[in-house]
Amino acid sequence: MIKHESIETNAGLLIALTLIVISIGGLVEIVPLFFINDTVEKVEGVRPYSALELRGRDIYQREGCYLCHSQMVRPFRDEMLRYGHYSLAAESKYDHPFQWGSKRTGPDLARVGGKYSNEWHVAHLVRPTAVVPQSVMPNYPWLLETELNYSDVQDRMRALKMTGVPYSETQQEYEANVTTFGADIAGRLDILRAEETLMQQALTYNYDGQRARITEMDALIAYLQVLGTMVDFSRYDEGYFTQFR
């Protein structure tokens, strides 16, 4: 039995024992979630980001958007009325790291996809007060000027693949994705064709309004426009989601 006095007078031992006690608290809270069968809802439509959306998500993180914007509509009535359906765990199952956040200086963005036009996003990101005079959001004009660097997008997808995101590299993985997500989306999840599909998506939708270039603005808006749009909630009875809690 270790004496109280010998712990108090030995800094190294005190630190080690403190860490053990704290980590028990954390583990008890976190670990059981991995074993509860219903934590992640069974819904259709959630897919990994395409190469362009993924680069957009990286820019979202680089610019620190999460410091002011959460991506988590909580199951409260006022939030449902303002933002739409509450967020499901399944909707962020391919996010590493997830962008739930805990600070809302700006509005929640979990369901921002499709809410505004691309033109609005461009004007707003370049200078938010141009469209929302009372906004305190900073300007991000360089997004429109900076060419998107996507030379390493394959490596970024490979890194996520290691965490379990189903991007495909082999024919077998690709075919599995065709079964799960359909041929269109499976094509966009193929690592070997990433640069090609990225360019294709940017040119087809021309998010930034500049036809000749693929900018960081293209990527960020592609990402914002897909947020919260993957699950078609009209297909589910509201009561369905209660069984997962």
Partner 1 sequence: MSETKPKPQGAVQTTGHSWDGDLQEFNNPLPAWWLWGFYATVLFAVIYWVLFPAWPIAGGYTTGVMNTITFVDGSGEERTTHWNTRSLLLKEMQQSESAQRSREYLEKVAATDYQEILSDPEMMDFTRSMAKGLFGDNCAACHGTGGSGVIGLFPNLADDDWLWGGTVEQIETSIRAGRYGFMPEFRNTLNAQQLDDVATYVLSLSGNKVDQTVAARGEKIFQTDTGGCYYCHTESGTGLESQGAANLTDQVWTVADVNGAETLDAQKAEVKQVIRNGVERRMPGWSERLTAAQIKLLTVFVHELGGGQ
Q: Any bridge partners for residue 147, and if so which? A: 215
What amino acid is encoded at 220 in this protein? Answer: L
**Span 12-41, contacts to partner 1 by CB under 8 A:** 32-33, 35-38
Stretch that binds partner 1, among 10-18, 119-127, 154-162, 184-192 (CB under 8 A): 119-127
The Cα-based distances of 70 to 22, 67, 101, 112, 123 in angstroms read 27, 8, 4, 11, 21
Q: Pick the closer one to partner 1 by CB: 17 or 19.
A: 17
Listed in order, strand segments (DSSP E) in the chain are none
Closest distance to partner 1 from the beta carbon of 84 (Å): 6
Neighbours of 228 (CB within 10 A): 24
Binding residue (CB under 8 A) for partner 1 from 86, 98, 100, 205: 86
133 binds partner 1 (CB under 8 A): yes
Q: Any bridge partners for residue 190, and if so which? A: 168
Closest distance to partner 1 from the beta carbon of 243 (Å): 8
DSSP string, 63-81: TTGGGT------S-HHHHH
241 binds partner 1 (CB under 8 A): yes
Closest distance to partner 1 from the beta carbon of 77 (Å): 5
What amino acid is encoded at 96 in this protein? Answer: H
- Among the listed residues 207, 224, 173, 167, the one whose alpha carbon sits nearest the alpha carbon of residue 191: 167
Q: Pick the closer one to partner 1 by CB: 8 or 175.
A: 8
The residue ranges that bind partner 1 (CB under 8 A) are: 5, 8, 32-33, 35-38, 75-77, 80-82, 84, 86, 114-120, 123-124, 130-134, 209, 234, 237-239, 241-245
